[in-house]
Amino acid sequence: MTGIAPALRVGFNLNNTALVQKTATGYTGVAPDLARRIAEAAGRALVPVDYPNARSAVEAVGDGWDIAFLALDPARADRMCFSTPYHSVSASFAVPNAHPAQSCTDVLHSATPIASPKGAAFHTKLVALTPQGPLHTAPTPAEARALFEADSTTALAGIRDTLLAANLVGCRVLSDEFARIEQAIALPKGADALLALVNEIVESFLHARATDP
């Protein structure tokens, strides 16, 4: 049917509340804002595609979305290409209130067990830091949280804003970070023309943010 713009399927990782929040009336945050700009510039209709976590979005590359808002992770470069980074987020730990740790270094340099979700970019960074305590890898963020809540000695790794938004009862989120994760827009390998357009929009966004008083 003529007059209908082709769809731009946009993958949102709803677990990363630092970038996107879904409400009853739509989507808010820096990721939806950029998605709208890209869709408008491409002359395509924005179609949101929700994912509960980064791993599920990564697994959908090739047929689930045209662009997706994900961490810039070199481990994913065999399946997708990335735009210029447009944002960064802090990865930190949640610990029980009674836990002695006051910093991420305290957690990493102690025997504290750490629950962390497989497939998250911060998990890759965490593994590279070789924490002294056992690292319990869970398939999803929800399962990592369940491990954390089942053991009062365990720390939970996650994006700091997401940990804060979770309102974990009897717990606190450490004020520092163990990693800084750059956020970018992912595209399937070979989408060179769309990648060029996405980078134009990202560069314009970064310039406007830098010059905004």
- For 135-158, write each residue's pLDDT tens digit: 999 999 999 999 999 999 999 999
**One domain for residues 40 and 22:** yes
**One domain for residues 134 and 155:** yes
Summarize pLDDT for 105-129 with one digit per residue, the tens: 999 999 999 999 998 899 999 999 9
**One domain for residues 105 and 160:** yes
**One domain for residues 176 and 110:** yes
Q: Do 53 and 117 touch, CB atoms closer than 8 A?
A: yes
Provide the β-strand partners of residue 68: 11, 186
**One domain for residues 105 and 157:** yes
The whole-model pTM stands at 0.86
Q: For 106, what's the count of Cα atoms within 13 Å in the CB-facing half-sphere?
A: 13
Range of the domain at 40: 7-87+181-211
Give CA–CA dist 145/29, Å, rounded.
24
**One domain for residues 101 and 159:** yes
Q: In the chain, how many domains are there?
A: 2
**CATH code of residue 114:** 3.40.190.10
